[in-house]
Amino acid sequence: MTQKQVEHKKIRVGVLALQGAFAEHIILLNTLPQVSEAVAVRNAQEINQVDALVIPGGESTTMALIAERSGFWPALQEYVRSRPTWGTCAGMILLSECVTSGGTLKGDQKLLGGLGISIKRNAFGTQKESFEAGLHVEGLENAEKLFPGVFIRAPVIDEILEKADVQIVATLQRDYGKTPKGTIVAVKRGHLLGTAFHPELTHDSRMHQFFVQMAQEWIASH
């Protein structure tokens, strides 16, 4: 095997399976050649058996409550501190530092943090305001082909707090309701990735490939 192949051996990816759209992530990840296995993760023992973690869409407050009540929260906090983790929608909320709602800080939301951003939950309104938007995603394979961003009761990044090392990965290409063109909907910070949209609900696996490659590179260099 070449040096590059040795550095990027296949990885075992866990998907947090406490609530939300975890099955769709597992199905899509299991189609990728660079993934040895994608599995559901529900406790401290299972999380320590995966090389990278996806926190799916769903309800962020519900996921946090289940993790706390089952005693899983400390292990989850420890994992995301140093291991490759991707939060989609509710998952990105959990990886944010704080949640604002129309500018006011909502201190009651339990968060894992790490992405160095503040989040506005339900930024586009209720379920009926859900939509699909073509997105230009930095670093995606065939980036000239827009990625189908599925937004369901989605948050947006309200502010980048750690400007030195947070990279903008995707922004809205036009206004959506009161949410203006240029609003940030995906960011990357070290071993962490956050997307406000749901790649697992599309047949386009490029975002999952992007995360797996990011995780492999992180593992190879740490």
Ligand X SMILES: NC(=O)CC[C@H](N)C(=O)O
Residue positions annotated with a catalytic role: 89, 198, 200
Q: Is 121 in the site for ligand X (CB under 6 A)?
A: yes
Quick one: which H or E segment has residue 206?
A: helix 206-221
Q: How many residues bind ligand X (CB under 6 A)?
A: 12
Considering only residues 183 to 202 of the shown chain, the ones binding ligand X according to CB under 6 A are none
Q: Is 89 in the site for ligand X (CB under 6 A)?
A: yes
Sign of CA dihedral 33, 7, 192, 171: negative
Query: Which residue in the set 37, 59, 132, 204 belongs to the binding site for ligand X (CB under 6 A)?
Result: 59
Angstrom distance (rounded) from CA 36 to CA 210: 16
Burial class (CB in 10 A: 0-12, 13-18, 19+), 45: exposed
Q: Between 11 and 193, name the residue whose CB sits nearer to ligand X.
A: 193
Q: Between 34 and 122, name the residue whose CB sits nearer to ligand X.
A: 122
The reply, when asked if residue 60 is annotated as ligand binding, is yes
Q: Is 123 in the site for ligand X (CB under 6 A)?
A: no
Q: Is 25 in the site for ligand X (CB under 6 A)?
A: no
x/- track of binding to ligand X for residues 148-177 (CB under 6 A): ----xx-x----------------------
The reply, when asked if residue 174 is annotated as ligand binding, is no
Q: Are 199 and 56 in contact (CB under 8 A)?
A: no
Tokens of residue 108, six digits: 């009651």
- Reduce the DSSP state of residue 186 to 3 states and report it: strand
Nearest approach in angstroms of CB 96 to ligand X is 11
Query: Which residue in the set 13, 28, 29, 93 belongs to the binding site for ligand X (CB under 6 A)?
Result: 93
Nearest approach in angstroms of CB 198 to ligand X is 6
The reply, when asked if residue 139 is annotated as ligand binding, is no
Distances (CA, A) of 131 to 140, 155, 193: 21, 13, 22
- Reduce the DSSP state of residue 72 to 3 states and report it: coil
Which is nearest to 150 in space by CA: 39, 75, 56? Answer: 56
DSSP lists the bridge partners of residue 35 as 11
Q: Is 100 in the site for ligand X (CB under 6 A)?
A: no
Q: Write out the binding residues.
A: 58-60, 121, 152-153
Q: Write out the binding residues for L-glutamine.
A: 58-60, 121, 152-153
